[in-house]
Amino acid sequence: MKNGSLTRKKRKAARRVDFIGDRDDHVLLTYIGLGYTTRFIESNTGLSAWQISYRAMKLRRLGISRADYRNGQGIVAQIVREHAQPAIDAALIRYLESHL
């Protein structure tokens, strides 16, 4: 309404979820794969909590879940174990050596 009595946000037009072609959806795919929270994803992508929940549900149907990473299951956890584990181990050892 006019005169400031009620202000309404202008809604963006609805669009299809595209985890490959859309930047926000692709970033969300990575964040979900790493087990990040809705709050973190919301603040880093501009997607609403509802949009994130909907996309997370679509990913669960494809076999990708936030819990998979935390449980050490799923493709993202496997990639981290295989490729990042040596660097993480070295960094943790250096940290422990400097603080003990």
Domain for residue 8, yes or no? no
Instruction: Report the pLDDT value the prediction gives residue 6, as an integer from 0 to 100.
Output: 56
What's the total number of domains in the chain?
1
Range of the domain at 49: 23-99
Domain for residue 60, yes or no? yes
Domain for residue 32, yes or no? yes
Tens-of-pLDDT digits for all 100 residues of the chain?
Answer: 555 555 555 666 677 888 888 888 889 888 998 999 999 999 998 889 999 999 999 999 988 888 888 888 888 888 888 999 899 999 999 999 999 8
DSSP secondary structure string, 3-55? TTS---PPPPPP----TTT-HHHHHHHHHHHTT--HHHHHHHH---HHHHHHH
Q: Check residue 62 and report its DSSP letter.
A: T
Instruction: Report the pLDDT value the prediction gives residue 3, as an integer from 0 to 100.
Output: 58
Q: What is the pTM of this model?
A: 0.69
For residues 14 and 85, give the distance between their C-alpha atoms in angstroms, rounded to a whole number: 40
Domain for residue 13, yes or no? no
Domain for residue 62, yes or no? yes
Domain for residue 61, yes or no? yes
